[in-house]
């Protein structure tokens, strides 16, 4: 079992890209400043980069799966040369949620089965309570970023709180930062 991989599970909206609320247009995509270099550093340190995102806008009919994919393509373009190892999304609405929708761990489980991931050596980074809860339930260490909705979700009791994805990567690579 020594060949299990370590991963960073990443929420998308509000974590890797700016939160714009049900983003359906590629022209609205803005990668968080510094995200490219932070993700490259994680990749260089041997972490798989896996996006795990709820996209209930599809289930609500606010945008199509094709529009969601166009948003992802634009984010990946902005982050080039970063490549995600996988991108998982749940289009379920909260009232029709299964274990696949965060805070359920279905998407994480799919990644674990596909890549052979050691969850105890992995992290979940997101800006909402559901991200922290998903990571905790899956057995990863959790980092709440203050970008997106993060400032409103500190009650989720993450293992770490970071200003943004850049500071989250620093925590992962170098340990907990000094106090405030």
In whole angstroms, what is the distance from residue 165 CA to residue 145 CA? 7
Given the residues 3, 11, 28, 127, select the one marked as catalytic. Answer: 11
Residue 13 annotated as catalytic: yes
CA 134 to CA 126: how far, in whole Å? 10
- The beta strand positions in 17-102, using DSSP E, are 47-54, 86-90
Structure token pair of residue 31: 């990668």
CA distances for 66 relative to 10, 25, 71, 106, angstroms: 21, 10, 9, 22
- Residues with catalytic function: 11, 13
């Amino acid at each position: 079992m020594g060949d299990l991989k370590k991963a960073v599970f990443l929420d998308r909206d509000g974590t890797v890209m700016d939160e714009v609320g049900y983003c359906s247009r590629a022209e609205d995509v803005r990668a968080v400043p510094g995200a490219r270099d932070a993700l490259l550093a994680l990749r260089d340190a041997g972490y798989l980069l896996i996006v795990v995102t709820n996209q209930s806008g599809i289930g609500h009919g606010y945008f199509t799966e094709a529009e969601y994919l166009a948003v992802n393509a634009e984010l990946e373009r902005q982050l080039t040369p970063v490549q995600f190892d996988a991108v998982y999304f749940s289009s379920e609405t909260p009232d029709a949620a299964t274990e696949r929708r965060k805070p359920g761990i279905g998407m994480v489980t799919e990644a674990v089965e596909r890549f052979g991931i050691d969850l105890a050596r992995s992290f979940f980074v997101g800006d909402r309570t559901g991200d922290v809860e998903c990571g905790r339930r899956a057995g990863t260490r959790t980092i709440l970023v203050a970008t997106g909705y993060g400032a409103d979700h500190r009650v989720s009791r993450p293992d770490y709180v970071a200003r943004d994805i850049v500071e989250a990567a620093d925590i992962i690579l170098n340990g907990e930062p000094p106090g405030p």
